[in-house]
Amino acid sequence: MAIEVRAEATPNPNAMKFTANQVLFEGTGSASFKKGEETDHSLAKELLQIEGVDNIFGFQDFVTVNKEMDAEWDALLPKIEEAFQKAYE
């Protein structure tokens, strides 16, 4: 099944929430990752490699992506979508 992702704005202009049609993070706890941290989580790894992404926070079927202050969402969104596709192909 192909992954489908819906992007939503948050009250923080530097953060966007991405909700998927499947579980992204297993278990009952949340997960957070910062740029430069080592991780085996395929989606986290793909997202943190994107220039302009600062950190991410994930829980079950969603992930919140926080961008660096000078990064633009218009440039990041296609790369974020590509990261989901790579991680779940």
Give the model's pLDDT for residue 65: 98
pLDDT surpassing 80 at residue 1: no
This prediction has a pTM of 0.94
- 33: domain CATH number is 3.30.1370.70
Bridge partners of 18?
Answer: 7, 63
Give the model's pLDDT for residue 39: 92
pLDDT (tens digit, 9 = 90+) per residue, 21-65?
999 999 888 999 999 999 999 999 999 999 999 999 999 999 999
Give the model's pLDDT for residue 57: 97
* Separation between Cα atoms, residue 38 and residue 75, nearest integer Å: 25
Dihedral of CA atoms 43, 45, 51, 53 in degrees, nearest 10, equals 60
Domain that holds residue 22: 5-87
Q: How many domains is the chain built from?
A: 1
